A and B are shown apart, each in its own frame.
Chain A
Amino acid sequence: MESGLGRSSETSLKASSSMASNTSRNTDLDQQGGHFNSMDQSCFARPSQSFPAFSPLFGVQSSSLYLPDDNEAKIGNQFEPNPSLNNPTVDWDPQVMLSNLSFLEQKIKQVKDIVQSMSSRESQVAGGSSEVQAKQQLVTADLTCIIIQLISTAGSLLPSMKNPLLSSNPAVRHLSNTLGSPMAFGSSCNQRPSSNNDATIPDITKTPDYEELMNSLNSTTQGESDELMKCQNPCGGEGSEPIPMEDHDVKESDDGGEGENLPPGSYVVLQLEKEEILAPHTHFCLICGKGFKRDANLRMHMRGHGDEYKTPAALAKPSKDSSSEPAPVTRYSCPYVGCKRNKEHRKFQPLKTILCVKNHYKRSHCDKSYTCSRCNTKKFSVIADLKTHEKHCGRDKWLCSCGTTFSRKDKLFGHVALFQGHTPALPMDDVKVTGASEQSQDSEAMNNMVGSIVYNFPGSSSDDIPNLDMKMADDTRYFSPLCIDPCFGGLDDFTRPGFDISENPFSFLPSGSCSFEQQNGDS
């Protein structure tokens, strides 16, 4: 049976080349839908059960009410001043329409067969829940396919209805809210699984909700890839999020919920799951699976997959609806139970944006894995915090002798002025030992260079002055009136290639007149 079902979907693939992309997506969605419904053991016959097949398409999932924003954005996008690409009337072709309808017919027949076979077995097979489930999935997948095809076909017939409907009816924007519950379109569809297209279309066109649904579906058929992405990963939602996903100013936005005192009922609370919060990439390419942090980057990437992604509309930024309709006040909840930012908390304080959620979750409930390379003590879980810290780390630590540190010099000086006996501590005070050893290295280097010159700083032995005193005996050589001979210790340097050796370097020396000549010969 399973193989037969697989074949049926294959045939549907072959049935119409124009539908190919749709079906392939639907199989995709189908799996998701199955996943989401896997807990639900009830059978297909229940009218509402078919609906979840749709829900993944819109990202309506468990408690996620994120969608409204999302769709809103899409609507705006689709009714941009340049709708010609979206306008199906341009593509109106009776041939295509005919093939679509025949495909629908075929498809409905197949589904009918499967459902019949299921209903016949239903009484007998009680334990094969997984099998039933698989079939159920297939049915929903096929139904989805049918609906999409139906809508796209019908949509091409009704271009003039969109604008007035949308602009006059704000309810459109809340479509998916209502979709979450069994209602008009979905149920009507299921109540009449075998009904023909002619009957459904007028029904659907009457409801604005349907219009909305159609729009979003249209957009998917146009290959608006990130639309689907949103559905898969509804909580990533960066593309539709008004706040750009920048790493700056995270701190102030983190505590977004703190300052405002919204009455508990006045906003919608969303809660993202941990995985979604921590997902490194939120935009995936549907063709090759590559992940991106930004939607814009994904759109750039998509260009490589074909010319259809190179159109200005595909590349354009999905902008917000400009019709100044105030979005419902949305606040976010932290998925960590017991956290004050979790909606179950008695004194729940919601988070303002997704960015706040991300930063809050990382800061409060994750390991601090980024360590400052400068001080090696401060740890951060948000990389932006680390960068902020590194900007100031060590540089402007103004330290008083009492141990108090200040971020600003004038504050330190004010402190020093106030307290008797306090002095600013020089940064070098801490590294006294290392400084001294450096110095002694210097002097060693000099010893090497100047041959036998005894030139020891007190550095290495610190304040050991008697030690120096003894050294003074050797110093006499250094003080000898003609201290040239120690200098000849370094003569080896002179033979290095940098010098012009063509002439004798000591040509100025009178021949044999002094001991320099011999030393020179030695070297």
Chain B
Amino acid sequence: MSEEVQRYGGSGGGVGALSLDLLGQVLDRVREPRDRKACRLVSRAFARAEAAHRRALRALRREPLQRLLRAFPALERLDLSACASLDDASLAAALSGADLAGVRRVCLARANGVGWRGLDALVASCPRLEAVDLSHCVGAGDREAAAVAAAAGLRELSLEKCLGVTDMGLAKVVVGCPKLEKLSLKWCREISDIGIDLLSKKCHELRSLDISYLKVGNESLRSISSLEKLEELATVCCSCIDDDGLELLSKGSNSLLSVDVSRSDHVTTKGLASLVDGHNFLQKLNAADCLHETGQCFLTNLAKLTDTLTVLRLDGLEVSASVLQAIGEGCSNLVEISLSKCNGVIDEGVSSLVARCSHLRAIDLTCCHLLTYNALDSIADNCKMVECLRLESCSSISKKGLEQIASCCPNLKEIDLTDCGVNDAALQHLAKCSELLILKLGLCSSISDKGLAFISSNCGKLIELDLYRCNSVTDDVLAALANGCKKIKMLNLCYCNKITDSGLGHLGSLEELTNLELRCLVRITGIGISSVVIGCKNLIKLDLKRCYSIDDAGLWALARYALNLRQLTISYCQVTGLGLCHLLGSLRCLQDVKMVHLSWVSIEGFEIALRAACGRLKKLKMLSGLKSVLSPELLQMLQACGCRIRWVNKHLVYKD
């Protein structure tokens, strides 16, 4: 695509002759952000078209925010979740003067610095706001909810983990936003039955509701059952809800399509049976980690959902072969099934299940230790469409089984073989799956360069590769990956301690790389790090824990090149205060730093470094010993900027 664009851009006039509308249409078809950027850069016409047509914006820093908002008047979606050091003042300033009449969705997830003033300004300047995401703004409370409630047209709202929101804030929202269709109250632990009751009286349009981890009881389910349009309900880990509540829920309107009661301790098959009985169009049922045994009534009721049920999660359940057979017979349209950590899953059961469910695309068999080749064989025979296969800790599956899967399931996109003891031969077979996007090979210490060479030469679409503790892997693997799998975004090389700087040098050519974990690679130094960060401009997360050879030089390289770095772990590294100071002072996107056991950094070093990064940091992990020696003003200031500090209560380890 980029070549094509360059050709047009080179001629200039040709592109310029096209109308902005047409160019906008063209740009809409350019998927990759980098390609769009290339278009913008080579042609003013494209830049104008982009300015007029751009719908979505994800800001990474607050400084250009104001300019960006004014440059793109047609914006509909605004993502500020990664915007470093965003606070009320900067948000209000950026919003003022910009034409945001078209903005419908705003994401402020983890924007801890934004409070009700910023939200007030946002709601005031975006009159057509329909969706707001405040998830994980742990400081947000009733005032923030009240500010959002001023957006009368709101349809979607996520208050997930807004720890300060109580019934009052919820009441503000439900009265202010009667058109609400989707609401997440996950982790808002202060909300009680009273608030949920008011919600179900006021928001009749509600289609999706998440009340996970709330301390609400059966009364809430009674209120919720009056919501006639509700399709999706999540009550994860609501320990006050039991079978009686589910029975109340089943008496409501028969509208539910998706129910998640996972980890609700007091729910049994009896309650689920009544729920399934009352809602005949259920498509998704998540009963993970709440059931211990299957009741016959549940299985018979489940069979009534044959036509609709597509997703079933029964993690942690005690299942016998006959139960799996019953599920297979009852729910033949299943697309996704999860039997993770289920006891008693054997080859015979899986075979009888997949014999009926030929539409399965995702199968989670994590920790089903008893499975062998036969199970994989029957999956391969029956489920040709399977895309996702999770087999972590299924150590009895052999290379023959994987061969069967690889040859019969060409659509396989994700496979988890962590701790399965696969070897190079198995990888050779697996390499036939050219669509593979995610491959997890953690703890498979027997695989070597040879096996991974097959993967890297055939699986060019790979996005995520996990080689955690694959000790035999050397620098050559990285060279092969850098050649074959250019799309890799996430790479885990923790404890592959044969890797050196020269291997990291190859990684520099993985331009898409965003997450890189290099934990305990004792041989790599600042040179390797600099070659990585110079090449991987998009690096967002970097883990250098226990890389004992990394020193200030590595941090200087990070400070100089890793401009998009957001999360960094440098615990146990031999860095000094100067390097830390420079790093934290320079990286403007850095928000989450774990720096435990930095024995070479003086208290003053920490103090200055933290002051340098104060406005941007959202999460810190440090030794608790520092709590008393850092100046209280600094800690106050960090808190005021929305930074949460996790103090690790350990003794400082000196490592020479």
Contact = CB atoms under 8 A, between A and B. Distances in A.
B614 interface: yes
B172 A423 contact: yes
Contacts of A134: none
B602 A505 contact: yes
Interface in A389-426: 409-410, 413, 416-417, 421-424, 426
A417 B585 contact: no
A458 B194 CA distance: 35
Contact of A426 (B120, B172, B582, B633): B172
Contacts of B607: 494
A490 B614 CA distance: 13
B604 A499 contact: yes
Contacts of B604: 494, 499, 505-506
B355 interface: no
A472 B66 contact: yes
A479 B64 CA distance: 10
B605 interface: yes
A458 B89 contact: yes
Contacts of A458: 88-89, 92, 117, 121
Contacts of B171: 413, 416, 423-424
Contacts of B392: none
B194 A410 contact: yes
A450 B96 contact: no
B297 interface: no
A514 to B, nearest CB: 9
B194 A455 contact: no
A413 B640 contact: no
For chain B, the bracket of interface size reads 35 or more
B612 A417 contact: no
A518 to B, nearest CB: 15
A457 interface: yes
A23 interface: no
A120 B95 CA distance: 113
Nearest to A448: B633
Interface in A479-523: 479, 481-484, 487-488, 490, 493-494, 496, 498-500, 503, 505-510
A484 B637 contact: no
Nearest to B576: A508
B175 interface: yes
A509 B602 contact: no
Contacts of A509: 578
B611 A450 contact: yes
B573 to A, nearest CB: 15
Interface in B140-155: 142-143, 146, 149
B25 interface: no
B588 interface: yes
B198 interface: yes
A257 B632 CA distance: 63
B175 A423 contact: yes
A438 to B, nearest CB: 11
A466 B89 CA distance: 11
Contacts, number: 128
Contacts of B605: 508
A444 B98 CA distance: 28
B586 A482 contact: yes
Nearest to A453: B615
Interface in A420-445: 421-424, 426, 428, 439, 442, 445
Interface string B178-220: 0000000000000000110110011000000000000000000
Contacts of A481: 585-586, 588
A409 B167 contact: yes
Interface residues of A, number: 53
B629 interface: yes
Given A413-B198, A446-B640, A481-B586, A426 B578 contact: no
Given A465-B96, A483-B612, A423 B176 contact: yes
A475 B142 CA distance: 30
B117 A459 contact: yes
B194 A428 contact: no
Contacts of B142: 426, 428
A7 to B, nearest CB: 83
A421 B169 CA distance: 15
A468 B198 contact: no
B632 to A, nearest CB: 10
B93 interface: yes
Interface string B79-103: 0000000001110110111000000
A185 interface: no
B581 A484 contact: yes
B407 interface: no
Interface string B301-344: 00000000000000000000000000000000000000000000
Contacts of A503: 602
B89 A456 contact: yes
A469 interface: yes
B63 interface: yes
A469 B97 contact: yes
Interface centre among B66, B169, B582, B631 (most CB of A within 10 A): B631
Contacts of B63: 475, 479
A290 interface: no
B577 interface: yes
A79 interface: no
Interface string B617-646: 000000000000101011011001000000
Interface in A103-130: none
B26 interface: no
B608 interface: yes
A510 B63 CA distance: 32
A458 B602 CA distance: 37
B22 interface: no
Given A413-B194, A413-B198, A469 B96 contact: yes
A494 B603 CA distance: 10
A416 B198 contact: yes
A300 B223 CA distance: 61
Given A450-B637, A472-B93, A478 B608 contact: no
B168 interface: yes
A445 B612 CA distance: 17
A479 B194 contact: no
A494 B90 CA distance: 30
B172 A424 contact: yes
Nearest to B586: A481
B607 to A, nearest CB: 7
A459 B116 CA distance: 11
B611 A490 contact: yes
Given A413-B167, A442-B640, A450-B611, A479 B201 contact: no
A325 to B, nearest CB: 55
A449 interface: yes
Interface string B360-375: 0000000000000000
A368 interface: no
A475 B62 CA distance: 11
Contacts of B143: 426, 428
Interface centre among A453, A472, A483, A496 (most CB of B within 10 A): A483
A500 B92 contact: no
Contacts of A446: 637, 640
Contacts of A445: 633, 636
Contacts of B602: 503, 505, 507-508
Residue among A423, A481, A506, A509 having the largest count of chain B Cβ atoms under 10 Å: A423
A469 to B, nearest CB: 6
A487 B608 contact: yes
Contacts of A498: 629, 631
8 contacts: A416-B171, A426-B168, A458-B92, A468-B89, A472-B66, A483-B612, A484-B585, A508-B601
Which 10 pairs between the two chains have the least Cβ-Cβ distance?
Answer: A505-B604, A487-B611, A423-B175, A465-B96, A508-B577, A468-B93, A417-B201, A508-B578, A508-B576, A424-B171
Given A426-B172, A487-B608, 9 more contacts: A421-B175, A428-B143, A445-B636, A456-B89, A482-B582, A487-B585, A503-B602, A508-B577, A509-B578
